[in-house]
């Protein structure tokens, strides 16, 4: 049995339609899933939607519809976008599904049975206009007025159900200190640790139905629903059929727990790095191997907003994918910024990156290689026949790519992964410049040298496209087909990544430029 690899995205709120931020996490997860599948791991990739809670309840009220209707309407936009972006998830979970709701109750019941949940008194600020609790920090920042309508916040005191978060904090601190990779990037880990060390209160995990009737009912108390974050976080476990209840999901997917990586945005790190692990500890589950928090996108230098007109909506994404290709959009998001940091989406930068990396880099190398093999060797990859010293630069870059690729993606370093591919592209294009095969072709005595060079160029193209495939599945398949290579080959990547696998005699076919230059 191969080692399991379980990657998740946040489940997205259905109070609004998807945008670039949602697509970013999902594309990153897809690249990991595709890469580790190719590497021979047993991969499970989960995404879905978060459909309970006050946000959805209010958004539905504003639209004069039921929260369930809103969910049914908006979920389609997410599913459609994942189709449009060629996302290869294995499962899509909605928190309104029966398989989810009954497992949320089961998890809460387990915690109740273990005395990890108790009834206490909630004391705090409440925004009556918004019908929501406001934390002390937010209340203070707004002079104890509503951030939305400016009216004074009301002091609330009501009975609620609490999870013993404080009890588990020391154990969690120990875990974070022992496992450097548990929270990534490192700067975020330090943030979480120092905040944790200031102490945490127990967590109120219920909402009174008189204020919020939309959610999963507490299993022990019909007057309350489960707090939306507890409901939502448990999707990662529930989708695997855990806790076990005895239906069709039982046993089949449990092997994927613990998750290899939860990919999330930096804004929801505390929930994933503190609440979720403490709940798992209390319920007796292993902790996920890694929680990776990526940065935020701005658009054209500003925070995205519909009123500023710089909002990268689903329609906008469709337009970009139409102008370039959906693979190019996938590539740009992962190439443009360091995964842990913030990034700015700019149309101009998009075009520049495309022209530099893809049109002039990968695309140019592929067309030159195919054209020259066509012209000098009747379209058949030649056998290497002479030692060509300059080849070492290309084989060196190829070997570096093969050995580093997995490590880069193990640590979600998408930028470095792509850099390793581009280093090979540059090495191969540079190789053509210095060895000048177009001159050698005119001299019969140089035939052996030319054979080695064209074989190496063919091999470089094969490797570049093979490693680009998780990021750009369709473009890579198109390029590989032109190189006469089977894109669906199931040989594990570690083997396919070896230099020298392209068979002499493989037929290459001329195609239109894979990445036509954009003006």
Q: What is the distance between the alpha carbons of residues 433 and 428, in angstroms, rounded to a whole number?
A: 9
- Which of 44, 47, 49 has its CA nearest to residue 70? 49
Interface pick for ligand MSP out of 26, 28, 34, 50 (rule CB under 6 A): 50
Q: Quick check: 333 binds ligand MSP (CB under 6 A)?
A: no
31 near ligand MSP, rule: CB under 6 A: no
Token pair of 294 as six digits: 């990526």
**What is the three-state SS of 489-506?**
CCCCHHHHCCCCCCCCCC
336 binds ligand MSP (CB under 6 A): no
Among 17, 245, 254, 268, binds ligand MSP (CB under 6 A): 268
Contact window for ligand MSP (CB under 6 A) among 20-28, 238-246, 418-426, 461-469: 20-28
Could you tell me whether strands 4-13 and 42-50 are parallel, antiparallel, or unpaired per DSSP bridges? parallel
Would you say 247 or 267 has its CB closer to ligand MSP?
267
CA dihedral 163→165→167→171, nearest 10 degrees, is 140
SS (H, E, C) 417-457: HHHHHHHHHHHHHHHHHHHCHHHHCCCHHHHHHHHHHHHHH
| Nearer of residues 22 and 402 to ligand MSP, judged by Cβ | 22
Q: Does 265 bind ligand MSP (CB under 6 A)?
A: yes
Q: Is 21 in the site for ligand MSP (CB under 6 A)?
A: yes
**Is residue 11 a contact residue for ligand MSP (CB under 6 A)?**
yes
232 binds ligand MSP (CB under 6 A): yes
| Sign of the dihedral defined by the CA atoms of residues 10, 16, 21, 27, in that order | positive
Does 233 contact ligand MSP by CB under 6 A? yes
In the 8-state DSSP scheme, what is residue 51? -
User: d(Cα 314, Cα 322) in Å, to the nearest integer?
Assistant: 12
CB nearer to ligand MSP: pick between 262 and 408:
262
Establish if 22 lies at the interface with ligand MSP (CB under 6 A): yes
Rank residues 22 and 94 by Cβ distance to ligand MSP and give the closer one: 22
45 binds ligand MSP (CB under 6 A): no
267 binds ligand MSP (CB under 6 A): yes
In angstroms, give the least distance from the CB of 406 to ligand MSP: 25
Q: Is 430 exposed, middle or buried (0-12, 13-18, 19+ CB in 10 A)?
A: middle
Compare residues 295 and 430 and give the one whose CB is closer to ligand MSP.
Answer: 295
Q: Which residue has the tokens 């009954």?
A: 102
Residues within the interface to ligand MSP (CB under 6 A): 10-13, 21-22, 24-25, 50, 232-233, 235, 264-265, 267-268, 296-297, 304
């Amino acid at each position: 049995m191969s080692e399991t690899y379980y990657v998740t995205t946040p489940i997205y709120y259905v109070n609004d339609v998807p945008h670039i931020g949602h697509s970013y996490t999902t594309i990153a997860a897809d690249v990991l899933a595709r890469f580790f599948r190719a590497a021979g791991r047993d991969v499970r990739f989960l995404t879905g939607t978060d459909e309970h809670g006050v946000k959805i309840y209010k958004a539905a009220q504003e639209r004069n519809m039921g929260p369930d209707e809103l969910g049914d309407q908006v979920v389609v936009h997410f599913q459609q976008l994942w189709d449009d972006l060629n996302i290869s998830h294995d499962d899509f979970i909605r928190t309104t599904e029966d398989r989810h709701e009954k497992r949320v109750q089961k998890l809460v019941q387990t915690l109740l049975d273990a005395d990890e949940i108790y009834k206490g008194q909630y004391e705090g600020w409440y925004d009556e206009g918004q019908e929501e609790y406001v934390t002390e920090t937010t209340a203070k920042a707004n002079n104890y007025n509503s951030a939305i309508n400016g009216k004074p916040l009301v002091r609330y005191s009501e009975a609620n159900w609490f999870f013993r978060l404080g009890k588990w904090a020391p154990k969690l601190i120990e875990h974070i200190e022992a496992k450097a990779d548990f929270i990534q990037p490192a700067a975020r880990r330090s943030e979480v640790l120092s905040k944790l060390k200031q102490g945490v209160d127990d967590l109120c995990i219920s909402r009174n139905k008189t204020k919020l009737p939309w959610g999963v009912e507490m299993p022990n108390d019909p007057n309350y629903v489960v707090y939306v974050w507890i409901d939502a976080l448990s999707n990662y476990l529930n989708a695997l059929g855990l806790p076990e209840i005895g239906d069709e999901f039982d046993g089949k997917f449990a092997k994927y727990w613990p998750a290899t990586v939860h990919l999330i945005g930096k804004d929801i790190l505390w929930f994933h790095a503190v609440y979720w692990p403490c709940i798992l500890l209390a319920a007796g589950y292993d902790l996920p191997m890694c929680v990776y928090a990526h940065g935020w996108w701005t658009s054209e230098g500003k925070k995205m907003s519909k009123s500023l007109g710089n909002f990268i909506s689903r329609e906008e994404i469709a337009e970009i994918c139409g102008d370039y290709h959906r693979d190019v959009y996938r590539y740009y998001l992962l190439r443009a910024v360091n995964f842990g940091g913030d990034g700015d989406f700019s149309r101009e930068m998009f075009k520049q990156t495309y022209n530099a990396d893809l049109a002039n880099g990968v695309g140019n190398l592929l067309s030159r290689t195919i054209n020259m093999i066509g012209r000098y060797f009747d379209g058949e990859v030649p056998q290497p026949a002479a030692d060509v010293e300059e080849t070492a630069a290309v084989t060196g870059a190829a070997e570096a790519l093969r050995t580093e690729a997995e490590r880069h993606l193990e640590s979600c370093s998408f930028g470095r992964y792509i850099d390793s591919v581009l280093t090979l592209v540059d090495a191969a294009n540079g190789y053509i410049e210095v060895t000048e095969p177009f001159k050698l072709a005119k001299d019969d005595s140089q035939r052996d040298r030319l054979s080695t060079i064209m074989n190496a160029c063919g091999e470089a193209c094969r490797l570049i496209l093979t490693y680009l495939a998780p990021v750009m599945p369709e473009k890579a398949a198109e390029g590989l087909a032109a190189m006469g290579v089977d894109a669906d080959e199931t040989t594990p990547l570690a083997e396919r990544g070896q230099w020298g696998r392209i068979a002499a005699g493989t037929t290459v076919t001329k195609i239109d430029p894979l990445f036509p230059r954009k003006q």
